[in-house]
Amino acid sequence: MLASRGSCEELLNPPLPLKLNQIHGGDALQLVPSVPDGSVDLIICDGPYGTQSHAWDQIPNIQEFNLTLIRMFSVKLKHGGALYLFGKSNCLDFIDYRPYLTLCSRIIWFQPNRLSQGRINYTNNYDIICYFIKGHRLRVFNLDDIRVPQLVELEHRLRCEKVPSVSNGKFSKTKFNQKGKNPGDVWGDIKQLTYKSHELISRAALNTIQKPEKLIERLVKASSLPNDLVLDPFCGTGTCPVVCQRLGRNFIAIESDHDFINVANTRLKRTMNHVRVPQKLPSSQLKNLLTHAAPLHN
Ligand SMILES: C[S@@+](CC[C@H](N)C(=O)[O-])C[C@H]1O[C@@H](n2cnc3c(N)ncnc32)[C@H](O)[C@@H]1O
């Protein structure tokens, strides 16, 4: 079961501006505008998909909803800052996001072990994570922090070194990096949580709600630096705040469900003793946030 209802009035009525390193109760569409413009390094947006029976997921036109989010987030991001927007394969269909952000990748999060099976169509085995940046020059992409093991055997790898490969239309030597390879844009190595996962906070959070920490960790490591500011407008069970706390990133998290807020706060408390505390952000743009910043350690 999720944590019992607590002082939800308190949770659902945060004073503005939003405090750093806290989970704020309320509607993301109302609260995000109070984040200072151009202050956010990374946004992890795992919000409604428009496919589930939960009341919060009943969005009549998910594409228009996503466009509204993209427009709102583009103002909050720093130049070169990144947005990861979760959704189904159609989540960007027929909308023009190009005036706001640059789409760099549509990452496929491949989940071959989904239990529900289609009868009149192919079973959907993946989610999409749309990776955008603001402008055309990205601020950060820490490839070395997210490399995955090379899949080929050593002998074959060494042979590959001598095999020419084509990049940008030119032949060059195939590179073998001891540290591992780029994870690419189809991720099958990170499994969806199951009933048996230690991480899972409740069965109610299975299927499209609670994401594996490893998944969010890859995004945070790739597109932010220690002490950066990460915005998670739909934080659910608090996976992204927990990862940020562990990796020494500042965060602003928002969630409308008081049960999830309680769960997320419990997870944050558990993580506290094992983390590097992010330093306060130096930017003068964040003056208000800093004045009201909540300490990570109580
Ligand atoms: C897919 S879940 C996020 C799960 C999260 N990434 C995790 O690992 O636990 C989406 C969450 O968004 C919340 N939500 C939906 N609409 C919202 C809104 N307008 N404002 C704030 N939260 C909202 C839901 O309550 C739900 O917990």
What pLDDT, in 10s, does the model give residues 97-106?
A: 999 999 999 9
User: Is 134 in the same domain as 248?
Assistant: yes
CA-nearest of 293, 228, 239, 291 to 268 is 239
User: Is 14 in the same domain as 154?
Assistant: no
pLDDT of residue 275: 58
List strands edge to edge, sheet with 102-110: 22-25, 250-255, 229-232, 40-45, 77-87, 126-133, 102-110, 186-187
* Residue 296 forms part of a structural domain: no
Average pLDDT, integer, range 114-142: 92
49 alpha carbon – ligand 1 mean position (Å):
10
C-beta separation of 205 from 218 below 8 A? no
CA-nearest of 43, 77, 20, 76 to 290 is 20
Name the token pair of 6.
């607590």
User: Is 211 in the same domain as 227?
Assistant: yes
User: Is 163 in the same domain as 38?
Assistant: no
User: Is 211 in the same domain as 158?
Assistant: no
What does the pLDDT look like over 259-273, one tens digit per residue?
A: 999 999 999 999 986
70 lines ligand 1 (CB under 6 A): no
Average pLDDT, integer, range 284-297: 38
User: Is 235 in the same domain as 169?
Assistant: no
Task: Count up the domains in the chain and report the number.
Answer: 2
* Residue 1 forms part of a structural domain: no
67 alpha carbon – ligand 1 mean position (Å):
17
Query: At 12, is the pLDDT very low, low, confident or very high (cuts 50, 70, 90)?
Result: very low
255 lines ligand 1 (CB under 6 A): yes
Answer with the residue of higher pLDDT: 287 or 138: 138
pLDDT of residue 116: 73
pLDDT of residue 35: 97
255 alpha carbon – ligand 1 mean position (Å):
6
Residue with tokens 């506290």: 272
Query: At 285, is the pLDDT very low, low, confident or very high (cuts 50, 70, 90)?
Result: very low
Average pLDDT, integer, range 136-164: 85
SS3 label, residue 179: coil
What does the pLDDT look like over 45-81, one tens digit per residue?
A: 999 999 877 899 999 999 999 999 999 999 999 999 9
Q: Which atom of ligand 1 has the smallest separation from the CA of 264?
A: 9
User: Is 166 in the same domain as 204?
Assistant: no
* Residue 278 forms part of a structural domain: yes
* Residue 2 forms part of a structural domain: no
Name the token pair of 226.
């220690």
Among 14-18, 98-102, 159-163, which is the least confidently predicted range? Answer: 14-18
48 lines ligand 1 (CB under 6 A): yes
Q: Report the alpha-carbon distance of residue 298 to residue 294 in Å, rounded.
A: 9
What does the pLDDT look like over 25-55, one tens digit per residue?
A: 999 999 999 999 999 999 999 999 998 778 9
236 lines ligand 1 (CB under 6 A): yes
Residue with tokens 């919060």: 56
pLDDT of residue 14: 47
User: Is 198 in the same domain as 218?
Assistant: yes
User: Is 36 in the same domain as 80?
Assistant: yes
Question: To the nearest whole number, what is the mean pLDDT of the chain?
Answer: 86
Cis (ω within 30 of 0) for the bond into 17? yes
Q: Is residue 11's pLDDT more than 70?
A: no
What does the pLDDT look like over 202-252, one tens digit per residue?
A: 888 887 799 999 999 999 999 999 999 999 999 999 999 999 999 999 999
254 lines ligand 1 (CB under 6 A): yes
Q: What percent of the chain has pLDDT over 70?
A: 85
Query: At 163, is the pLDDT very low, low, confident or very high (cuts 50, 70, 90)?
Result: confident
User: Is 105 in the same domain as 230?
Assistant: yes
239 lines ligand 1 (CB under 6 A): yes
The set of residues, in sequence order, having a beta carbon less than 8 Å from that of 250 and lying 6+ positions away, is 20, 21, 227, 228, 229, 230, 244, 278, 280, 281
Answer with the residue of higher pLDDT: 154 or 91: 91
Look up the domain containing 86 and give its range. Answer: 8-146+183-291
